[in-house]
């Protein structure tokens, strides 16, 4: 079980979080059909670092982007997203 550095709560056990999807597979609201299906069904599965969307559901409930190595699980970053994190 990973230890995830929530940007709001600090390091917490993975069991407090849910995984949503990779940033790559987010379907933009205005995506045409072909692009939307590609995002959903023909996703990358890199053997290396990837950006993933997680939510601290059983904690602060905030969403975040976790930068994780998919083989070693090394976490190199975790940043807050959502309206509060808008520039």
Partner 1 sequence: MITFSFDGKAYTAQEGDTLAAALLRNGIGLVGRSFKYHRPRGIMTAGVEEPNALVTVGEGGRAEPNTRATDVFVYDGLVARSQNRWPNLSFDVGSVLGLAAPALSAGFYYKTFFGSAKKWMFYEYFIRKAAGLGNAPTQADPDRFSHRAAFCDVLVVGAGPAGLQAALDAAEAGKRVILVEQDNILGASLIRDPQELDAAWIEATAARIRGAGGRILTRTTASGYWEHDLVTLTQRLSEPGQTPANGVAQRLWHVRAGQVILANGSIERPMAFAHNDRPGVMLSQALRSYVRRFGVVPGKRLVIATNNDDAYKTAQALKDAGAQIVAILDARPAPAGANSGHRVYNDAVPLSTKGARHCLKSVSALVDGKTMEWDADLLAVSGGFTPVVHLHMQAGGTLDWNEDAQAFIPASSRQNVTTIGGAADPQPIFKMVPVSSPNKSFIDFQNDVTLADVDLAWAEGYRSVEHLKRYTTLGMATDQGKLSNMAALGRLAEKQGVAIPEAGLTTFRPPYTPVTMGLIAGAGAKDAGAHVRRLALYDLHAAKNPIWQPLGYWFRPRAYPINGESLAQAALREAKAVRNNVGMTDVSTLAKFEVSGPDAAAFLEIICATTVSQLAVGRGRYTFMLREDGFVFDDGTVWRLDENRYLLTSSTGGADRMATHISYVRQYLCPHLRVSAVNVQEHYAGIAIAGPTAKAVLATLIGEEPPRHMSTVPAVIAGIPVIILAASYSGERAFEIYITASDAATVWAACEGQVMKVGGALYGLEAMEFLRIEKGHLVVGGEVDGRMTPHDLALDKMLNKAGGYIGASGLARPALSEAGRRQLVGLEALEGDIPEGSMLIPSEGASPQGHVSAAAFRIIEGGSVALGQLVDGFSRHGEILIASSPTRGQKARVRVVAPHFYDSAGERYRD
CB of 40 to partner 1, least distance (A): 6
32 CB contacts (<8 Å, ≥6 apart)? none
- Report whether 24 contacts 44 (CB < 8 A): yes
The verdict on 36 binding partner 1 (CB under 8 A) reads: yes
Two tokens, residue 51: 């950006």
CB of 3 to partner 1, least distance (A): 4
DSSP label at 83? Answer: G
Q: Which residues bind partner 1 (CB under 8 A)?
A: 1-3, 13-14, 18, 20, 26-29, 31-33, 35-37, 40, 53, 55, 57, 61-63, 72-74, 81-83, 85-86
């Amino acid at each position: 079980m990973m230890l995830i550095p929530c940007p709001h709560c600090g390091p917490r056990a993975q069991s407090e979080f849910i995984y949503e999807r990779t940033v790559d597979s987010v379907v933009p609201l205005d995506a045409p059909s072909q692009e939307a299906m590609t995002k959903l069904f023909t996703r990358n599965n890199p053997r290396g670092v990837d950006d993933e969307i997680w939510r601290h559901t059983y904690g602060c409930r905030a969403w975040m982007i976790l930068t994780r190595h998919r083989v070693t699980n090394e976490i190199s970053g975790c940043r807050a997203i959502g309206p509060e994190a808008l520039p």
